[in-house]
Amino acid sequence: MRIQLRLFHLLGLQAADAPSISHLAKEIGITRHQLMHLLDRSSKQINRHALENVCKYLVQTERVLEAELPGALFVVKPDRFWSMARSCQHVEISMGTRWDARRCDHLVAAADSLLHAAVVNRITTLASDESRRKRARKQRPIPKIDPRLTPTWCAKTKTCDELKKDAIVKIEHFREKSSRNATICLGSVKSNPLSEPVIAFPFVNAVPFRSEDDFTEPVRRSCPCVMIYRKTDDKPLSCWGGRHLSAGDRKAKPGMYFETETGQWEYLPYESNRDAGLVYFRFDKIRRSLEMVIGGFTGRASRCVAAMLQTKDAEQFWPPVIRTDAYELGMYVVAFTFRPARDEEDEPVHNRIKRATVIRLPDSVLQRRLKEDAC
């Protein structure tokens, strides 16, 4: 959530006959610079003396009740990124399970567990806050949240073909449900097969679990964002993952690639001090239906994305890249740079983030790939 000052509204500066900033600052008893700082909604600090003078002015001139101050100066704005999930009645969060030979059981990776906790926390906490603010109106219940555990490629119970079929059927079944439902897939196609049909759906030539590695040029790929697998990764056939970028570029290094407006593909490397994450969503505004994929190229990146989602950094994944009367679609990659670890075992990886750059995929790159009915 975000806290903003309502000073512009309380001082009546939206009126046509509003006084000048300089005149108003003199009346309040503060400098013009101090007043401009208070009117700047992005300000991170507030001068206490200036705030006291503003409160006195509002009581004496604008007839604001003294008992309502300074609370009346502030308003809480809900996070717009999470408002999509909060508007749904039922949210299903899917995570891939990995086979643990020692325990002879399927387990959820720690990074995916952190992602799950971050998503649940932001949806339920903000929904509760929103309900408290709307006591006088009809209450919106907190969405029902259900986890879905999906066996991944190293599963011992199903073949790869069965996993692919199950993933496609489950997502198709989700789309046939009534309105106000959300499916949030945690992890990439390497760790969660359900993310493949979700990512593939809006793009015109994308076929879930079909490799595009042998296309002559990267620009022919159906998805504008591609992961190149490491040697140690599971390597499922995918429209947004592969062993190389194209038939003519078989030397691409492991990491995340995305197309820029110029048609070139930019590389977000996987190195000891660098990693990459992805956030994708498609929101049907008519049915209030949400499909989302959140994850990292590695578990390390997934942990860092989870940390971002817990803070105001989640607002960097808003507004949508494409917005129509019927749909909202966003696709973002995150480039992480880390400082050297002081103590690898004791220090959480998100505390070592030196820089996290959110890159919004260009509108033109997405538009030329989308199905006519996708947005």
Q: What is the mean pLDDT of the chain?
A: 87
State whether 140 and 228 are in the same domain.
Answer: yes
Question: What pLDDT shows up at residue 187?
Answer: 96
CB 204 within 8 A of CB 222: yes
- Comparing 77-91, 227-241, 302-316, which segment has the lowest mean pLDDT? 77-91
Look at 123-127, 135-139, 205-209, 273-277 and tell me which has the smallest mean pLDDT.
Answer: 135-139
Both 26 and 98 in one domain: the answer is no
In sequence order, the 6+-apart residues with CB closer than 8 A to the CB of 173 are none
Tell whether 95 and 45 lie within a shared domain.
Answer: no
Residue 275 in this model has a pLDDT that exceeds 50:
yes
For residues 297 and 189, the answer to whether their CB atoms sit within 8 Å is no
User: Mean per-residue pLDDT for 191-216?
Assistant: 96
Q: Model confidence at 45, in pLDDT bands (50, 70, 90)? A: confident
52 burial class (0-12, 13-18, 19+ CB within 10 angstroms)? middle
d(CA 31, CA 53): 11
- Which strands form 265-269's sheet, in the order they lie side by side? 241-242, 225-228, 255-259, 265-269
Structural domain span for residue 142: 80-367
Q: Is the pLDDT of residue 136 over 50?
A: no
Answer whether residue 283 shows pLDDT above 80. yes
Token digits of residue 360: 């919004």
How buried is 368 (Cβ within 10 angstroms: 0-12 exposed, 13-18 middle, 19+ buried)? exposed
Four-point Cα dihedral 61, 62, 65, 66, nearest 10: -50
- Residue 173 backbone phi and psi in degrees, to 5: -65, -40
208 and 151, same domain (yes or no):
yes
Cα separation, 306 vs 111, whole angstroms: 8
What is the count of structural domains for the chain? 2
| Distances 271 to 235, 333, 338, 339, 354 between C-alpha atoms, Å | 19, 16, 10, 12, 14
**Long-range pairs, 42-49, Cβ under 8 A, ≥24:** 43/5, 46/5
Q: What is the pTM of this model?
A: 0.79
Q: Pick from 77, 102, 126: which residue ends a domain?
A: 77
Do 52 and 149 sit in the same domain of this protein?
no
Q: Residue 41: its pLDDT value, please? A: 58
Segment 212-240 shows an average pLDDT of 95
Tens of pLDDT, residues 249-261: 888 999 999 999 9
Domain assignment present for residue 375? The answer is no
Q: How far apart are CA 5 and CA 283, in angstroms?
A: 30
Whether 348 maps to a domain, the answer reads yes
For residue 373, is it within any domain?
Answer: no
Is 232 among the domain residues? yes
Task: Compute the distance between CA of residue 176 and CA of residue 288 in angstroms, rounded to an integer.
Answer: 13
Same domain, 61 and 18: yes
Q: Decide: helix, strand or coil at residue 180.
A: coil
Give me the torsion for CA of 366, 368, 371, 375, rounded to 10°: 50
Domain boundary among 43, 77, 111: 77
CA distance 320 to 157: 39
Distances (CA, A) of 132 to 81, 126, 128, 129, 136: 20, 10, 6, 5, 9
What's the rounded mean pLDDT across residues 349-360?
Answer: 92
Boundary-marking domain end, from 77, 109, 141: 77
pLDDT for the residue numbered 315: 87
Residue 372 lies in a domain: no
Are 92 and 43 within one domain? no
Instruction: Please determine, for residue 25, whether its predicted confidence score (pLDDT) is greater than 90.
Output: no
Greater pLDDT, 197 or 176: 197
pLDDT at 357: 96
Question: Averaging pLDDT over each range in 42-51, 123-132, 166-175, which range is the top one?
Answer: 166-175
- Residue 167 pLDDT: 96
Q: Mean per-residue pLDDT for 84-113?
A: 89
Task: Kindly tell me if the per-residue pLDDT of 201 is higher than 50.
Answer: yes
Q: Which of 358, 207, 163, 178 is nearest to 268 (CA)?
A: 358
Burial (CB < 10 A; 0-12, 13-18, 19+), residue 214, is: exposed
Half-sphere CA count of 372, side-chain side, radius 13 A: 0
Q: For the residues 316-344, what does the mean pLDDT come to?
A: 90
For helices 21-28 and 48-61, angle between their N-to-C axes, nearest 10 degrees = 90
So what's the pLDDT on residue 16? 63
What type of residue sits at position 110?
A
Percent of the chain with pLDDT over 70: 89
How does pLDDT run across 154-190, given as a tens digit for each residue?
Answer: 777 788 999 999 999 999 999 988 789 999 999 999 9
**Is the same domain home to 252 and 196?**
yes
Tokens found for residue 315:
């607002």
Domain contains 323: yes
